[in-house]
C-alpha cells in the first residue's frame, strides 16, 4: 500500500476492473488522489491451482449454480491481508450478502472509523459456508434483493464509507446534512431559476434569514420522514421543538 495514514481497503473480487468506477471518478476518485484511502484489489483466480483458473465447483446436494471454493477464497483473503501491509493482519472481513445486516448510516460510520477492512464480493450461487464461518466477521446487505455478484453492493458500501472520511467532501457540513445523518430524510433543495414550470422557490429560502431557513429545513425533513418513512420516524425521540414543527 502506498499510503499508511488513510483508510486501508481491500476487495476480494473476480472483476477488479469494475472498481475503476469508484477509484477514477467523482468524490471517491478525488479522495483516493488525496490519500484519504487506498484500495487493493485481489482476484481469487490468481490463487487457483489449475491452468483454467477454476475458483468454483458444483454444490454438494445438487441444485443450480456453482459455489466458490473455500480454499481458493482463503488464499485470496491471505493475499488481501498481505496487500494491506501492516494494517492487514487485524483488518476485519466483510462479505456482501443478501442474508447480512442491512446497511445503514450507523454501520457506515462504524466502518469509516476503522483503520482498515476487507470486503469479499462473491459470485455465482455463493461462497462455501465454511469460508464464511471461519474468516468473515460480518455479512452486509444493501437491500432485500439479489444481484449478479457482490461487486456493485461492495462499491455502494465503499462509496458510502469513503465520503464519510474526514476531508473527502468539499464542504465539511455536506455529510452531516445528508439523509439519515440524524435519522431523518433530507429536506428539499432548490437552485436557479426562481420559477420553473410555474413553481417558485419557497420564499423563506430567498429571505436571507438563516434562522428561519434552518427552521424550515428541519420542518421539511421531519415532514418528509413522517410521510415517506414512518418506520424511521417511529425510532426517533423528538424534541418538543420538533414536535411543534410537525404539528404546524
If you write DSSP's letter for every residue of 64-107 in order, what string do you get?
Answer: SS-EE-HHHHHHHHHHHHHHTGGGTTT--EEEEEEEEEEP-HHH
The closest of 241, 247, 211, 205 to 226, measured between CA atoms, is: 247
User: How do 67-68 and 126-127 pair as beta strands?
Assistant: parallel
Residue 166, SS3 per DSSP? coil
Give the active site residues: 98, 125, 163, 178
C-alpha cell recorded at residue 174? 455536506
- CA–CA gap between residue 64 and residue 82 (Å, rounded): 34
Q: Which residues of 1-26 are buried (b: 16+ CB within 10 A; e: fewer)?
A: beeeebbbbbbbbbebebbeebbeee
C-alpha cell recorded at residue 64? 443450480
- CA–CA gap between residue 241 and residue 145 (Å, rounded): 38
Amino acid at each position: 500500500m502506498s499510503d499508511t495514514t488513510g483508510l486501508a481497503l481491500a476487495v476480494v473480487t473476480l472483476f477488479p476492473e469494475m472498481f475503476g468506477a469508484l477509484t477514477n471518478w467523482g468524490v471517491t476518485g478525488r479522495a483516493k488522489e488525496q490519500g484519504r484511502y487506498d484500495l487493493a484489489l485481489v482476484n481469487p483466480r490468481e490463487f487457483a491451482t489449475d491452468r483454467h483458473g477454476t475458483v468454483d465447483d458444483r454444490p454438494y446436494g445438487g441444485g443450480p449454480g456453482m459455489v466458490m471454493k473455500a480454499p481458493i477464497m482463503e488464499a485470496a483473503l491471505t493475499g488481501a491481508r498481505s496487500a494491506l501491509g501492516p494494517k492487514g493482519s487485524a483488518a476485519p472481513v466483510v462479505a456482501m450478502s443478501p442474508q447480512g445486516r442491512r446497511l445503514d448510516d450507523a454501520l457506515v460510520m462504524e466502518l469509516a472509523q476503522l483503520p482498515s477492512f476487507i470486503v469479499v464480493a462473491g459470485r455465482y450461487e455463493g461462497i462455501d459456508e465454511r469460508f464464511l464461518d471461519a474468516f468473515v466477521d460480518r455479512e452486509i446487505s444493501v437491500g432485500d434483493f439479489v444481484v449478479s455478484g457482490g461487486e456493485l453492493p461492495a462499491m455502494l458500501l465503499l462509496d458510502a464509507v469513503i465520503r464519510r472520511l474526514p476531508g473527502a467532501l468539499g464542504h465539511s457540513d455536506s455529510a452531516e446534512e445528508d439523509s439519515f445523518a440524524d435519522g431523518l430524510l433530507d429536506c428539499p433543495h432548490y437552485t436557479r431559476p426562481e420559477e420553473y414550470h410555474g413553481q417558485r422557490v419557497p420564499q423563506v429560502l430567498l429571505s436571507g434569514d438563516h434562522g428561519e431557513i434552518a427552521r424550515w429545513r428541519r420542518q421539511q425533513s421531519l415532514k418528509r420522514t413522517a410521510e415517506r418513512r414512518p418506520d424511521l420516524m417511529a425510532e426517533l425521540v423528538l424534541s418538543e421543538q420538533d414536535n411543534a414543527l410537525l404539528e404546524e
